[in-house]
């Protein structure tokens, strides 16, 4: 179990962050969740840059956690 958390979890975060940055509009299910949560429509540009920002944040958090 420790092997999985130590090795595969950071790799999964990196892959997820890269996917958010490269293919931000492929995550339509998250857009649907956001629209249900806040009951308002989102335009594609706002969503695209929001997911890119989320991907960058994931990578930065992983980098900081590896440095500490």
> For the segment 42-51, what is each residue's pLDDT rounded down to a tens digit?
666 666 777 7
* DSSP E strand boundaries for 1-68: none
pTM attached to this predicted model: 0.49
Cα separation, 48 vs 6, whole angstroms: 31
> For the segment 11-67, what is each residue's pLDDT rounded down to a tens digit?
777 887 777 777 766 666 666 666 666 666 666 666 677 777 878 888 888 777 777
Torsion of CA 46, 56, 28, 15, to 10 degrees: 160
Neighbours of 61 (CB within 10 A): 12
Q: Are 20 and 30 in contact (CB under 8 A)?
A: no
């Amino acid at each position: 179990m420790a092997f999985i958390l130590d090795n595969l979890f950071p790799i999964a975060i990196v892959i997820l962050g890269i996917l958010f940055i490269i293919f931000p509009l492929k995550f339509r299910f998250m857009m649907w969740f956001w629209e249900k949560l806040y009951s308002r429509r989102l335009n594609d540009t706002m969503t695209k840059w929001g997911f890119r920002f989320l991907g960058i944040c994931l990578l930065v958090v992983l980098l900081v956690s590896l440095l500490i």
